[in-house]
Amino acid sequence: MALAEKLAAQQRSISVAEFFEKNKHLLGFDSPTRGIITTIKEAVDNSLDACEEAEVLPDIFVSIVRTDRDVLRIAVEDNGPGILAEKVPFVFGKLLYGSRFHQIRQSRGQQGIGISAAVLYAQLTTGIPAKVISRTDARAAAHLFELMIRTEKNEPEILRHEEVEWDRTHGTRIEIEFTGTLAAKKRLIDYLRYTAVVNPHARIQADIDGEFHSFDRASEEVITPPEAIAPHPHGIEFGTLKRMASASSDDVETFLIAGFSRVGKKSAEQMLSLAGIRGTRKAKGLSSEQLKVLLDAMQTVNVPPPPASLCLSPIGEEMIVQGLEKEFSMDFVRARTRKAQVFSGHPFIVETALGYGGKLDAEGQGQLLRFANRVPLLYQQGACAITSAASEVNWKAYNLSQQGLPMGPVLILVHVASTNVPFTSESKDAVAAIPEIEREIVLALQDLGRELKAFINKRERSKLAENRARAICSIIPDIAGKVAEIVEKPVPDIAPIEGQIMRKIIARKVTREGTVELSVHNYTRSPAEVMLYLISGDDASGADQPPDFTDAFGDEFNKVWKVRIEPESHWRVHYPGRGGGSLDMRGVEEKMKVVVDLDVQ
Amino acid sequence: MSSKDVDALARRQLVGIAETWYDQFTEGRIPSLTLPTRTKQNIEYDETSEVWKYGERGTTRTANSEKSALHILKMAYVIGFLKQQLQESRSSTLREMYYISEGWKRAKFSAQDESNMLVEDLEIITELSREAFHLRPEEDGASVYGPLRLKETTKRGVRDIHCQQDVGEAGYPIPNNVENIEFVEHDAKFIIAMETGGMYARLMENGFDEEHDAVLVHLKGQPARSTRRMLRRMNQDLGLPVVVFTDGDPWSYRIYASVAYGSIKAAHMSEILATPTAQFIGVQPSDISDYNLPSDKLTEGDVAALKSELTDPRFDTEYWRRQIKLQLEMGLKSEQQAFASRGLDFVTKEYLPARLGEMGIL
């Protein structure tokens, strides 16, 4: 037998499902640990997309239960519009089946691979079929399916289908069991938190092997789903043009005007005259050669950018700030939504936010949160254009130290929204290096960097002013004491001077000749209510103002006074004691308070 | 005024500063301190006393900055210390006070300069000299040699000294407190003050004091306060003209200026330290060319100092402008001992008699 014949016997078509079975990493199923995150990510993305389309506020429940030593049951449930019973097997049991692949608009999922790949992964590791419940309406019944994928044909196999009782009036629940570990639990929680940040209209609750996490809604505003638009002549490829032309029954001119966004009669005529094609010809009848010439002409003619406001749905500056503030505690947070831009005919919008201080980790590199179409990107940070753009910014100019990314308590959020986010691979982990996108990220971050610098400078200044005032306020009593000694008169009251310097609320402790004096001066223009906490060896018995609360631990006493002080007045307590210890005042804004302990030199 | 009265006045003045602050405290005002600005831009010629004094420009330090608050705190400690010292009739040196401040916690001095400046501030405010506070300077008074008899009240009694017959070659050393000296008699016609020890010894060896009835004073470089006070007293009390003989360079002209007009640093003391009638004898820039003296080139620093003198109000006279401009043109300077190139007797036999004749002293 000739070799070619031998080979021919082995040559046959490969099903997509078979292909992905062998190339799991392309879809983000390279390890059991990652498999869990990818599964939940795909399911949650679908839920959010579905809720958005139905214009309902998403209410999503995620659960992971360990059913056996290394078998995990993952369930994701939403209150979306549900899926028609006859479509359910295809959505979950057939790869490359979806509603959004042919549409040009911003959406989380697109190709219809994600969730069915998870079903396939489960089937490969445990052989347990996926369980789906879906209900479209309160009046309709809920349908339960148990599904598997026939890999050689890429077709769903329904193992069970029945109508069931379900407590949700509409929505979808998917349950998948596969071998895996919870090693990546932290990353999973990060994913849910980041999702909550960029979807402030969603409520996400999660039960991760008995550990409960809740990410509340920060906004009650339903997101208007972006509309699909016609392709833009500058972003189109030959194959697409050919497919569109063959499906058209119009003449070429009408085909151009109706089939593409921003193409009017004038630009259509320009394209046709440039290509040397008569406008009255049928689009269907054009040869490949003619279509190639037409494609070139379409790129040459100047056409306005695509209508980004229709097909893109940026989160918005206010929402980003709200979303970040509910999940992170920071002293500074600002967001910037740039104007829509275009790369190769695809509209995109870059949004960034910069957070600083608060409870952010002050050690090491700052955090970078990457998002594409409202989906957090968790892997391959180093390969992502967002990372390189954020590292390209000269953060040192904004008073931050920098080793690639800025160092210290910094959080950077970058969201790229587009009808076609250019990912480096199908696992959608990293944004490809597109100069137009990188430029927008750099500009937005520089803008925020300038605001952060102003904030840091202002804070430094007020810190300096406070240090200065604190220093003076500890020297003034010494001057008063020495001056009184020289003129042989009683020590003058320095309180008015302190007030003049500080314009603040001052708590002061001083111990003289066995008497501890504690005072609070309110030099502000409004009344103040404060709590004075003093931990020292004295029990404050015999105080002229007994503490509201005393607590003994070891040989120390914690004393608390609750005090209300009118503006421009003061409160005082004396008791016999040795002084020392530590004094704190609460109930006052940090920048308005000064605690002066004259027992500590 | 008896020394007891001076002590009482000093105490009153010092405590007065503290009282001002005390009043500021009780009125709820932040303590402050106003002093004249101590720069050459703020010295003015006083017609009546014929000396240069601080002008109107003042600097107010208010304790609303950490630095000023500390300054006031330190001053309060110094006042407290001086008050006690006056009370106990003790005295101390500036350096001793610097070490005493070690125990003043936050108010301790970070350097000797700081305590010196503070004491000068107190002199300005109280219009008294530091001697009135019983503070002795560390600096060494220079010496006097000539036909002069005086009495000095020392801690061990009164000493009667003739400044030629009772002293060695080093001459009579000027004490820190010149007020303790009483002049008895003299046979002098004028006083010649010299910058260097070499020239002082040359005039003594050549018998210049005897030949011309001169009192020789060795300034030892930039003269100490006591040396300037001694010159002033001999000039005032004995009516003797004073001439100053220094090197021919910009730094030496400042020695003359501090004798004649007072120094910028101690302009508040000018009235008791300066000798306004003191005249500059040499080395004049014109002498360098007239006598063809061995010379050195002016350094960049010399040129800058000469230019700075052109804007110094103390050198704003026809004579000095001409001499300084001449020197800048020549680009040369000479030391007073350069006259030795014409023989060891040239300076006492030729140069000084000629100059003194020109100046109407001989």
- pLDDT over threshold 80, residue A101: no
Nearest to A471 among B15, B66, B76 (CB): B66
Q: Does A496 touch chain B (CB under 8 A)?
A: yes
Mean pLDDT of B204-225: 92
* One domain, residues A243 and A211: no
Quote the pLDDT of residue A358: 86
Quote the pLDDT of residue A54: 84
* pLDDT tens track for B27-61: 767 899 888 887 778 888 887 777 778 888 888 88
Question: Is the model more confident about B5 or about B205?
Answer: B205
Where are the alpha helices (H) located in A32-109, listed in sequence order? Answer: 32-54, 88-93
* One domain, residues A62 and A191: yes
Residues of A in contact with B76 (CB under 8 A): 479, 482-483, 486
Of B3-12, B70-79, B95-104, B259-268, the range with the highest mean pLDDT is: B70-79
Q: How confident is the model at residue B323 (pLDDT cuts 50, 70, 90)?
A: very high
Q: Looking at the domain assignment, is residue A101 inside a domain?
A: yes
Minimum CA–CA partner of B27 in chain A:
A496
Q: Where are the beta strands (DSSP E) in chain B?
A: 32-36, 43-46, 51-54, 58-62, 92-93, 135-136, 143-145, 148-154, 157-162, 172-173, 181-186, 190-194, 214-218, 242-245, 279-282, 296-297, 332-333
- Contact criterion met (CB below 8 Å) for B239 and B193: no
Kindly determine whether residue B66 and residue A487, on different chains, have CB atoms separated by under 8 Å.
no
Q: Looking at the domain assignment, is residue A227 inside a domain?
A: no
- Contact criterion met (CB below 8 Å) for A440 and A337: no
Q: How confident is the model at residue A113 (pLDDT cuts 50, 70, 90)?
A: low
- pLDDT over threshold 90, residue B21: yes
* Nearest one of A427, A384, A426 to A38, comparing CA atoms: A427
Take residue B69 and report the two structure tokens written for it: 């608050």
Kindly determine whether residue A479 and residue B73, on different chains, have CB atoms separated by under 8 Å.
yes
Q: Does A526 touch chain B (CB under 8 A)?
A: no
Minimum CA–CA partner of A494 in chain B:
B25
Kindly determine whether residue B18 and residue A471, on different chains, have CB atoms separated by under 8 Å.
no
Quote the pLDDT of residue A573: 94
Q: What percent of chain B has pLDDT over 70?
A: 98
Chain B: nearest CA to A519, how far in angstroms?
Answer: 18
* One domain, residues A201 and A249: no
Residues of B in contact with A472 (CB under 8 A): 63-66, 69
Kindly determine whether residue B105 and residue A601, on different chains, have CB atoms separated by under 8 Å.
yes
Interface with chain A: mutation pick from B13, B22, B25, highest number of A CBs within 10 Å: B25
Q: Does B167 touch chain A (CB under 8 A)?
A: no
Kindly determine whether residue A483 and residue B26, on different chains, have CB atoms separated by under 8 Å.
no
Residues of B in contact with A479 (CB under 8 A): 21, 31, 63, 69, 72-73, 76
Question: Is the model more confident about B349 or about A497?
Answer: B349
Q: Does A500 touch chain B (CB under 8 A)?
A: yes
* pLDDT tens track for A415-467: 998 888 888 877 778 888 888 899 999 999 999 999 999 988 888 887 777 77
Q: Does B32 touch chain A (CB under 8 A)?
A: no
Give the separation between CA A538 and CA A555, rounded to whole angstroms: 9
Complex ipTM > 0.90: no
The CATH number for A138's domain is 3.30.565.10
Quote the pLDDT of residue A2: 74
- pLDDT over threshold 60, residue A110: no
Lowest mean pLDDT among A128-142, A245-259, A566-580: A245-259
- pLDDT over threshold 60, residue A66: yes
- pLDDT over threshold 60, residue B313: yes
Chain B, window 247-286: residues with a beta carbon less than 8 angstroms from a chain A beta carbon: none
Q: Looking at the domain assignment, is residue A461 inside a domain?
A: no
Quote the pLDDT of residue B45: 80
* pLDDT tens track for B150-180: 999 887 889 999 999 999 988 999 988 888 8
Nearest to B18 among A475, A487, A497 (CB): A487
Q: Does B84 touch chain A (CB under 8 A)?
A: no
Kindly determine whether residue B18 and residue A483, on different chains, have CB atoms separated by under 8 Å.
yes
* Nearest one of A408, A415, A417, A416 to A452, comparing CA atoms: A408
Interface with chain B: mutation pick from A468, A479, A502, highest number of B CBs within 10 Å: A479
The CATH number for A584's domain is 2.60.40.2960
Domain span including residue A129: 16-215
Mean pLDDT of chain A: 84
Question: Is the model more confident about B205 or about A300?
Answer: B205
* Nearest one of A93, A49, A61 to A173, comparing CA atoms: A61
* One domain, residues A239 and A108: no
Quote the pLDDT of residue A98: 61
Nearest to A478 among B26, B65, B106 (CB): B106
- pLDDT over threshold 80, residue A371: yes
Interface with chain A: mutation pick from B11, B30, B75, B77, highest number of A CBs within 10 Å: B30
Q: What is the dihedral of CA B20, B22, B28, B30, to 10 degrees?
A: 60
* One domain, residues A48 and A177: yes
Q: Looking at the domain assignment, is residue A167 inside a domain?
A: yes
Q: Looking at the domain assignment, is residue A223 inside a domain?
A: no
Q: Looking at the domain assignment, is residue A159 inside a domain?
A: yes
Where are the alpha helices (H) located in A182-251, listed in sequence order? Answer: 185-198, 238-246
* pLDDT tens track for A374-383: 888 888 888 8
Minimum CA–CA partner of A477 in chain B:
B73
Chain B, window 169-228: residues with a beta carbon less than 8 angstroms from a chain A beta carbon: none
Strand partners, A150: A155
Nearest to B70 among A475, A485, A497 (CB): A475
Task: Output helix, strand, coil percentages for chain A, rounded to the nearest 5.
Answer: 35, 30, 35
Q: How confident is the model at residue B77 (pLDDT cuts 50, 70, 90)?
A: very high
Q: Does B20 touch chain A (CB under 8 A)?
A: no
Quote the pLDDT of residue B11: 93
Mean pLDDT of chain B: 89
Quote the pLDDT of residue B79: 95
At the top level of CATH, which class does the domain B188-358 belong to?
alpha beta
Kindly determine whether residue B69 and residue A476, on different chains, have CB atoms separated by under 8 Å.
yes
Quote the pLDDT of residue B2: 66
Q: What is the count of structural domains for chain A?
A: 4
User: What is the helix (H) or strand (E) element at residue A508, kind and residue range?
Assistant: strand A505-512
* One domain, residues A39 and A166: yes
Minimum CA–CA partner of B74 in chain A:
A479
* One domain, residues A277 and A319: no
Give the separation between CA A377 and CA A78, rounded to whole angstroms: 22
* Nearest one of A466, A472, A500 to A568, comparing CA atoms: A500
Phi, psi of A269, deg, nearest 5 = -60, -40
Question: Is the model more confident about B246 or about B41?
Answer: B246
Lowest mean pLDDT among A49-53, A133-137, B72-76: A49-53
Q: Looking at the domain assignment, is residue A44 inside a domain?
A: yes
Minimum CA–CA partner of B83 in chain A:
A486
Chain B: nearest CA to A599, how far in angstroms?
Answer: 14
* pLDDT tens track for A520-578: 988 887 888 999 999 999 988 889 999 999 988 888 999 999 999 998 788 999 999 99
Kindly determine whether residue A479 and residue B64, on different chains, have CB atoms separated by under 8 Å.
no
* One domain, residues A188 and A263: no
Q: How confident is the model at residue B324 (pLDDT cuts 50, 70, 90)?
A: very high
Buried b / exposed e over A375-386, threshold 16 CB at 10 Å, is bbbbbbeeebbb
The contacts of residue A553 (CB under 8 Å, 6+ apart) are: none
Q: Does B15 touch chain A (CB under 8 A)?
A: yes
Q: What three-state secondary structure class fits B153? A: strand
The CATH number for A403's domain is 3.30.230.10
Would you kindly state where each structural domain of chain B is located, as residue ranges? 3-136, 188-358
* One domain, residues A65 and A211: yes
Q: Does B76 touch chain A (CB under 8 A)?
A: yes
* One domain, residues A294 and A329: no
Q: Does A464 touch chain B (CB under 8 A)?
A: no
Kindly determine whether residue B79 and residue A468, on different chains, have CB atoms separated by under 8 Å.
no
Task: Using the 3D structure, point to which of A189, A215, A241 is the last residue of a domain.
Answer: A215
Interface with chain B: mutation pick from A466, A473, A482, A500, highest number of B CBs within 10 Å: A482
- pLDDT over threshold 50, residue B64: yes
Interface with chain B: mutation pick from A497, A502, A598, A600, highest number of B CBs within 10 Å: A497
Minimum CA–CA partner of A498 in chain B:
B30
- pLDDT over threshold 60, residue A601: no
The contacts of residue B123 (CB under 8 Å, 6+ apart) are: B129, B130, B268, B269
Just list the catalytic residues of B. Answer: 99
B3-136 CATH choice from 3.40.50.2300, 2.40.50.100, 3.40.640.10, 1.10.10.10: 1.10.10.10
* pLDDT tens track for A117-128: 888 888 888 888
* pLDDT tens track for A1-39: 677 777 777 776 666 667 776 777 766 777 777 888 888
- Contact criterion met (CB below 8 Å) for A477 and B70: no
Kindly determine whether residue B105 and residue A496, on different chains, have CB atoms separated by under 8 Å.
no
Interface with chain B: mutation pick from A466, A470, A475, highest number of B CBs within 10 Å: A475
Give the separation between CA A268 and CA A257, rounded to whole angstroms: 7
Q: How confident is the model at residue B139 (pLDDT cuts 50, 70, 90)?
A: low
Give the separation between CA B196 and CA B203, rounded to whole angstroms: 11
Residues of A in contact with B25 (CB under 8 A): 480, 483, 492-494, 497
* One domain, residues A291 and A322: no
Chain A: nearest CA to B32, how far in angstroms?
Answer: 11
Mean pLDDT of B339-347: 92
Q: What three-state secondary structure class fits A450? A: helix
Mean pLDDT of A507-522: 88
Minimum CA–CA partner of A467 in chain B:
B66
Residues of A in contact with B30 (CB under 8 A): 497, 500-501
Nearest to B25 among A468, A475, A494 (CB): A494
Q: Does B70 touch chain A (CB under 8 A)?
A: yes
* One domain, residues A206 and A244: no
